[in-house]
Amino acid sequence: MKRTISFTLAFLLSFGSAAWAAAEAKIADGKKVTLAYKLYVEKALLESADYKNPFTYIHGQKQIIPGLEKGLAGLKVGNKKKIRVLPAEAYGFPDARALHEVEKDKLPSDVPQKKGTLIEARDPQGTSRLVKIVDVKEKTVVIDFNHPLAGKELEFQIEILGIK
């Protein structure tokens, strides 16, 4: 009987210390981080991840924008924080060289040739991204290849759910 109690006590102590260590873990390079967040741009909710469908990434692997990664460093499970990210540490600033004039007949026939139309474009490597018609001329349209959030300040409201 004495042996069983010792084993149970040792198990509980080791389990308790492991749980305590996990609760004390801080976000650092190489850690797998799970979080809930809301992203606001110009006070409008753009996207979110909640407790049921959280967002997970590996810290320090450049999987998220630099400003957000800096703001998350050192946080612990349960921490909540509002993180403002300026354009320089997010998607940069709009670049005039990313505006391209394209002949209207080069666009797919089902694409409305109107200012503000979003088009899915693929680069030579097959990567897909959204681009936007920003001007319509007589025979051409001007397409903006800048990231849609270029030049925007981002506000994240986050809660750290897990760190491994």
pLDDT digits (tens, 9 = 90+) for 118-153: 988 887 888 888 899 999 999 999 999 999 899 999
Measured in degrees and rounded to the nearest 5, phi and psi for residue 52 equal -75, -35
pLDDT reported for residue 127: 85
Given a cut of 60, is residue 11 above it in pLDDT?
no
Alpha helices, DSSP H only, in 33-138?
66-72
Q: What pLDDT score does 12 carry?
A: 46
Q: Range of 104's domain? A: 96-144
60 and 101 part of one domain:
no
Q: Are 42 and 59 in the same domain?
A: yes
Question: pLDDT tens, 62-120?
Answer: 999 999 999 999 999 999 999 999 999 999 999 999 999 999 999 888 989 999 999 88
Tell whether 13 and 39 lie within a shared domain. yes
- Give the integer Cα–Cα distance in Å for 84 and 10: 45
Q: Looking at the structure, do residues 119 and 51 belong to the same domain, yes or no?
A: no
Strands 118-122 and 128-136, bridge-based pairing: antiparallel
Q: Which residues, at least 6 apart from 6, have a Cβ–Cβ distance to it below 8 Å?
A: none
CATH code, 39: 3.10.50.40
Distance CA 10, CA 5 (A): 8
For the segment 34-46, what is each residue's pLDDT rounded down to a tens digit?
999 999 999 999 9
